[in-house]
A = this chain, B = another copy of it.
Amino acid sequence: MKNVPPLVQRNRAVTEQKLISAVGSILMRDGHAGLGVNAVAREACVDKVLIYRYFGGLTQLVERFGRTADFWPSEDELVGGDLARLQALPPKARYAEFVRSYVRAIRSRPLLREVLVWDAVEKSELTAVLDDIRESTAVNVISALADGVTDSPDDFFAVLAVLGAATHYFTIIARNTPVFAGVDLQSEEGWNRLETAMMRIVELFLSDE
């Protein structure tokens, strides 16, 4: 009897999953500063010794979390869901729309926001993993969109880097800072100002075909 897989207790796979998702929960609720062995174990309703037994320590657990969790938006979402349609647009509209999609994709992910903070503030287990994901994604997306801008005299990729950096920064500080350089970060109106400014920047850098 009871050949059915155990309903509840004594299941390493389930316990591991509880621990991994506890990392995400804590990041969302308390930020990276709240991440600790005791906190994760408490959140997962599991004894902390299992963190060491199953993962080798918090470091490795967080590493597993980084590789498992998909807080980073997919490349499809980064381009607004339809790469082919975007590619068909003339450069101006193509990149303007991409910038807007990027801002909204980043902004709408609270977990990603916290991870961005962590990534910016200190060198951690997630940093290396995240940096790799970010850079490879950036390369893929940008090369998928690059068309008709290669012979520009300007360093358009540097411009894109500037816009990406600004997006990350606004997203991060909007959690606590109400106003930056006169722009209201708590209202949609403020973010619209930023979006249009960024879209206008890429338009000014690109000819119309």
Say yes or no: is A12 at the interface (Cβ < 8 Å to chain B). Answer: no
Q: State which residues 80-133 of A face B: CB under 8 Å.
A: 117, 119-123, 127, 131
Q: Which B residues are CB-close (under 8 A) to A160?
A: 181
- Given A180-B164, A204-B204, are A154 and B197 also a contact pair (CB < 8 Å)? yes
Task: Give the number of copies in the complex.
Answer: 2
A181 touches B161 (CB 8 A): yes
Which range contains the number of A residues in contact with the other chain? Answer: 35 or more
27 A–B contact pairs at CB < 8 A?
A: A119-B177, A120-B121, A120-B169, A120-B173, A120-B177, A123-B176, A131-B177, A131-B178, A134-B180, A135-B181, A135-B182, A138-B181, A139-B182, A142-B181, A154-B197, A155-B197, A157-B181, A159-B200, A160-B181, A161-B180, A161-B183, A162-B166, A163-B166, A165-B169, A165-B180, A168-B169, A201-B201
Closest 5 CB pairs of A and B: A158-B197, A169-B169, A161-B181, A165-B169, A165-B166
